Amino acid sequence: MKNHLEIAMEAIELVKPSIELLFEQTNRKELHIVVMDPRVKPWEASFEDAILCQTSLGNPSEWTIPFDEFARNKARQAWRSTRPNLASQTLHTSSLHDDDLLFYGSFVYGDIVVACSGVEQWFDMLVSGWIAVAFEQLCMSEYQKNKTNNPTKTYRNK
């Protein structure tokens, strides 16, 4: 059975062709992606320990803006509040911290939090959404295959 890290990376690879197509209409072709571990809640671990994976598209050594830091900041906001950081920035500004980035670009789907930075913030959010939904559905596929192949198994990984 695939683990969460493998599935998250598979989700990113699955949507990469769409990201590359989207790059034809964005302001740049650079992106940093952060996927939080949906099994870890803010009261259980530090933010850094809850990051499941992160990766960059484009050449980070040529970035003039720290998109990796921006994406982590967006992810932190969304993970902390369990809602996309767009909600904090437009509806609930009282919850913003002094060091919160003032761009949106995260997506929350159930317990999955994904954040991106590198292109226009609405496209960062779009890509985050694609990855979040792909991650959940790939997890569902893995879960269903496991249940079909092991119908008497009592626990997921025991």
Taking only the tens place, the pLDDT of each residue in 83-140 is 999 999 999 999 999 999 999 999 999 999 999 999 999 999 999 999 999 999 999 9
Confirm whether 140 is domain-assigned: yes
In this structure, the chain runs to a length of 158
Question: How many domains does the chain contain in total?
Answer: 1
Per-residue pLDDT of 26-72, as tens digits, reads 999 999 999 999 999 999 999 999 999 999 999 999 999 999 999 99
Is 80 a member of any domain? yes
Angle, CA 141 vertex, CA 139 and CA 143 arms, to 5°: 70
Residue numbers of the domain that contains 93: 4-149
Query: What is the structure's pLDDT at 138?
Result: 98
Angle at 82 between CA 4 and CA 91, to 5 degrees: 145
CATH code for the domain in which residue 96 is found: 3.30.450.150
Inside any domain, residue 132: yes
Q: Residue 151: its pLDDT value, please?
A: 83
- Evaluate whether residue 58 is within a structural domain: yes
- List, in order, residues 6 or more apart from 56 with CB less than 8 Å away: 30, 31, 32, 33, 67, 68
Q: Would you say residue 113 lies in a domain?
A: yes
* 143 located within any domain: yes
Contact 52, 132 (CB under 8 A): no
Residues 82/84/90/95 CA torsion (nearest 10 deg): 30
Residue 158, in any domain of the structure: no
Which ranges of 24-120 would DSSP assign to H, the alpha helix? 47-50, 67-81, 85-90
Q: What is the pLDDT of residues 105-114, one digit of tens each?
A: 999 999 999 9
Tell me what pLDDT residue 1 has.
85
Task: Indicate whether 15 belongs to any domain.
Answer: yes
